[in-house]
Amino acid sequence: MSGGGFESERTTPDRVSVACHTPLDKRRLLFYFSAMVETATPEILPDIRRETEDKPRSGLDPGYLVICWNDPVNYMEYVTHVFRTIFGWPRKKAEFHMRQVHEQGKSVLTRESMEKAEHHVHELQKYSLHATMERDQ
């Protein structure tokens, strides 16, 4: 079976793939695909727009405000303690916000990203304080 004529007449996948890669076939494939590339690829120019929107006051993306509301249950010393524990504030700052909650009914404690604001609200609620968050404009 090692005869020269018989071996060359076999059509195996290897032989077929070799037969397809003659120089003439490569030129035809190259011509065919180059024509397709030229017609299939549309020319897209970049869309340049000037942003005319006004940025927020602080120049940052809109954040979320963490608000603590007054309730008749918690003592003022306890609210001060919670603010110091959660935010790490000094006593004067914690007392300022506690008095604002007591006298005005609410205090905006901080402005944060949505995730951080949700975290702070959850922490305040774990200490049984009435806290919410609102989107800042």
- Give me the chain's average pLDDT, please: 77
Rounded to two decimals, the pTM is: 0.56
The three-state secondary structure class of 109 is: strand
Look at 77 and 31; give whichever has higher pLDDT: 77
pLDDT one-digit tens code per residue, 75-126: 999 999 999 999 999 999 999 999 999 999 999 999 999 999 999 999 999 9
Residue with tokens 């397809």: 20
